Structure formats: structure tokens, C-alpha cells
Structure 1
Amino acid sequence: MANKYNFNLSHLPERTIRPRKNGVTMVMDKGISLRQAEDFLSVSADYVDFIKLGFGTSLITKDVKKKVKLYRDAGMQVYVGGTLFEAFVVRNKFDDYLKYIADLGMNCAEVSDGSIELEHDKKCEYIRTLAKNYTVLSEVGSKEEGVIIHPARWINMMLNELEAGAFKVIAEARESGTVGIYHKNGSAHNMLINRIVNKVKIENIIWETPQKSQQAYFIKLFGCDVNLGNIGVDDVIPLETLRLGLRGDTFFSFLPEEMKQPI
């Protein structure tokens, strides 16, 4: 990727390129127009791996099939938000969900239970079914503020869902970044995150990081090729500069010690 930059600046970390297994960026499309999607891709396509049509927006967005095709033609994995999966499941319409995402031309699917109570064995069964035809991302954690899940349960769910066929597991934060792996003020649950990565391989986790401070936290903790999600369409380039140490929050993260001294 470095040879595609506008200047060959030294001491930038080496970034993975698509198709990536590590350092993936998952973007949330909250219902932007087809024209906005074209503009977004014109500047950000190289840095995006997954596009989520957030929550239930795909159900009411105009030209959604055209937009899905646009994203897929740009080499991205596209899926509808887990909340919509749950909306079908709670109505006992999983077969209709399968038809819906097939009709949209999706190549990826998200399985979550952040809004509904779903037996974990049943959730893993949905993952196994979808994994036959789709790249599956499974989301772990509640969307409800104040719901505390014990670290051991986070770990067990993540490991079981990966075993069931999930490509990666998503650590829930919601689009606000104030639940799941975060406190309600947006700061990280350090103990929970450390417990998780002691048992689950870091490359198998996508951390939802809608806020800049959260993106910087994980980049400084795990490096430029940490998997990050719930990124806004306008935040992809700013995120990439964080990954490369070209923004104040991570400026010194990848520089040698001699460059960190006063000039």
C-alpha cells in the first residue's frame, strides 16, 4: 500500500492490503444515497473490507440493490445489520431472511443477539447454516446499557461462535460506543478486553470503535493492523491516518526512539 501514497514517507507501519485477514475496517452505512456511496468509494475503497447496512436501514433505503452491487464490485463484503437479522428471527421468519439477503446480493451475514434473548446453541446453529453460503460475522454483547456479561461468558461465546463457522466475532459497542466493551462514558473496559485477548486470538476479533478515542486506544494497544468496526463513511481516511501514525493521537506510536526525543 505504501507505493500508493502521495509521498513515500519513512517510518510508516506496513499495512495489510485487501483481501485482508488482519487490519480489517468495517464501515457502517446508515442509509447513504447511491451517489454518496460512489463518492465514498472514490476516496476510501482501498481501506474498507466490510460494509454493514446498519440496523434495519436496508429495508427502507432506495436503490439498495444497486448500492450492494456497487460495494461488491469494489471488492467489499456486504451485509445487513444484525438488528435486522434479529427482527426476522423474533418473528420466526429466518427462511424469509435467507431469501431477503440472497435477493439483495449479499456475500456476508451477521448473526447477533444484542436486542433479543437467543439461546446460544440456537445462535451457533444460525451461524452454521449461514456459513454454508456466506462469510459470517457474529456479534457478542448486549446493546442494552447496564447489561453486564461476565468475561468468561464473553470468551466462551466468542470461541463457540468461531468454532461454529464465524469468520470473525464482533465485540459489541453499538453505534454510540457506550455499551458492551465500553463504559457509558465511552472509555474501554480494560479488564474485559485483556481477559478476552488472553483466550481469543486477536486476529479473530473485530472491535467496534465508532469514536476516535476508541480507535486510537486499540491501535496503540494492538498495532496498526487491529480489526476495527462501526466506522462512519466519513471517518475511513481519518482512521487510516490513525493506523499510520499520521494523527496526533498515534503520532509517536510507530516512530523509533531517537525520533521521540526533543528536537
Structure 2
Amino acid sequence: MNYDLSQIPERAIKPRQKGLTMVMDKGLSLRQVEDFLEVSSPYTDIVKLGWATSYVTPNLKEKLAIYKSAGIPVYFGGTLFEAFYIRNQFEDYLRVLDKFGMEYAEVSDGSVEMESDVKCEFIHRLSKHVTVLSEVGSKDEAKIIPPYKWIKLMRMELEAGAWKVIGEAREGGNVGLFRSSGEVRQGLVEEILTEIPEENIIWEAPQKSQQVWFVKLVGANVNVGNIAPNEVISLETIRLGLRGDTFDHFLDK
């Protein structure tokens, strides 16, 4: 850091297993990626190329190479997996991962109907080749999944070989873990944490109020995702109690 301050919470050191910041790239240019990494690389643990943006992104190989040179893992959004799945093209999906040298992949079912056993089989198969993140929750705001089912699915998917499970919120933070207003479904999150270790979960939390809520609940080293590239520095100050929202959270009482 640029100077010393006392009573700053200790952050896990990269490469870390908890305290992850997952950034969503929704179509950054090569120059924008370089500028983003110049400032935020120390605080970024993994990048998702949102939903199926990789299908239309120009200079995809060059973009992936820039992230790789900075030591930042990248993966394609789960909607791309679903797009291949619904078209019965899973083998083609594997070839795409191989073509682009992907070391991570996301398995989700937020936009398709998929039996949990089938999803777990895909996780198991993929885990033999890449590090798998699996997403739990629906993108349909009218579909409310009860807490016991979130817990059951998260446990099954971790046992199937997922490295982390992701709590669905979409890029807007208004479904899944959250109400349409963006308010956290507090009882859901707290119940999940009674059964699933917090280090195994990445909570999608694109809104500042959501990030603040999770930092206050879990601590500076909570895993959060779907962070906009221009919000990474802001999030880090929230984690460290250096923004008004968490200013006195880590101070000695």
C-alpha cells in the first residue's frame, strides 16, 4: 500500500482461495483490458467473459492472452455452456475450451431446464479437464428456490467436482439471491451459510449495497462476483473499511 494505517483487516494473499473478486468483462476492448489491469490487477482474482459475449468478441485470443500475461484466470460465462447444451453440442463446447486454452469453465442452468443429476455429471466430466465453477439459482425472477434446495444443490455440485459454487444474481443483482429491488434475501444467505462453508461460495453482488452487506456479514475476505471493472478499487476499499459504508466496521470498539 502507499502508506500505513492501523486497524486494517488482513486480506488473503494472491493466489487466494477466499476473499476472491470475480470481475465481469461484458465486452472490454484490448486497450480497456490493459488499462483495467494496470490499476486493478492486484485486486482481481478471476475474470468472467459475461454470458456468451465470447461468441461475438473481436480479437478474443488476444484478449485472453493479455489476461494470461497478468496471471488472471478467465472463463466463459455459464450461459455459453447452456447455449451448447440446449443444442446438444457439448462435445463442441469441449473443443472450444481446448481451442482457446481455457483452464476454467462455468456450468449453470439459469436459462434452461436441467435435472440436477445431469448438471452434476457435466461438472464431473469437465472437472477432469478444467477447474469448474458451478452456478446455482435461476435467472427468472419469478422462480423462487427455497433455501433447503439451494443448500442441496450447492452441496451436490461441490461433491461433483466444482471448485466454487456461485450464487446467481445476474449482472444487475436483481434475481436469485436478491429481490427485484436489489435487496438481499437475508434469510436465504444466512441459512446457506449454516451448511455450506463460505470459502466455497462466490456471491454475485454487482451493486455497492450488496457488496457492503456481504463484507459486513462474512468479513473482508468474502468471495464476491459480477464486479464491474471500474468498481474493483471501490470494492477493495469497502473490504478494508476505507469507505463510509464500512468505515467503522473493522475499528476497535
Q: What TM-score do the two structures reach when normalised by structure 1? A: 0.95
Structure 2 partner of 1:206: 202
2:9 corresponds to which letter in structure 1?
P
Q: 1:79 aligns with which of 75, 79, 90?
A: 75
CA distance in 2, matches of 1:77, 1:199: 28
Structure 2 partner of 1:90: 86
Q: Deviations over 1:74-117 (max 9, x none)?
A: 11221000011100100000111111122122110000000000
1:41 corresponds to which letter in structure 2?
L
1:181 corresponds to which letter in structure 2?
L
Work out whether residues 245 and 251 of structure 1, in 8 Å CA contact, stay in contact via their aligned partners in 2. yes
* 1:94-243 matched pairs, under 5 angstroms: 94-243=90-239
3-state SS of 2:135 partner: strand
C-alpha displacement of 1:8: 1.3
Is 1:25 the counterpart of 2:21? The answer is yes
| Total equivalences in the alignment | 253
C-alpha displacement of 1:194: 1.0
Work out whether residues 25 and 49 of structure 1, in 8 Å CA contact, stay in contact via their aligned partners in 2. yes
C-alpha displacement of 1:66: 1.1
Work out whether residues 145 and 184 of structure 1, in 8 Å CA contact, stay in contact via their aligned partners in 2. yes
Q: Deviations over 1:99-138 (max 9, x none)?
A: 1122122110000000000111110011011111111100
3-state SS of 2:179 partner: coil
Q: 2:46 aligns with which of 45, 50, 53?
A: 50
C-alpha displacement of 1:248: 0.6
C-alpha displacement of 1:50: 1.0
Structure 2 partner of 1:6: 2
Structure 2 partner of 1:39: 35
CA distance in 1, matches of 2:19, 2:55: 30
CA distance in 2, matches of 1:102, 1:47: 28
CA distance in 2, matches of 1:142, 1:84: 15
3-state SS of 2:24 partner: strand
Is 1:65 the counterpart of 2:96? The answer is no
CA distance in 2, matches of 1:170, 1:143: 13
Note the residue ranges of structure 2 that are not aligned, 5 or more in a row: none
1:237 corresponds to which letter in structure 2?
I
Identity value in percent: 58
C-alpha displacement of 1:30: 0.1
2:30 corresponds to which letter in structure 1?
L
CA distance in 1, matches of 2:129, 2:39: 30
3-state SS of 1:235 partner: helix
C-alpha displacement of 1:17: 1.4
CA distance in 2, matches of 1:64, 1:10: 43
Q: Which moved more, 1:71-80 or 1:111-120?
A: 71-80
CA RMSD of aligned residues (A): 0.7
CA distance in 2, matches of 1:61, 1:172: 24
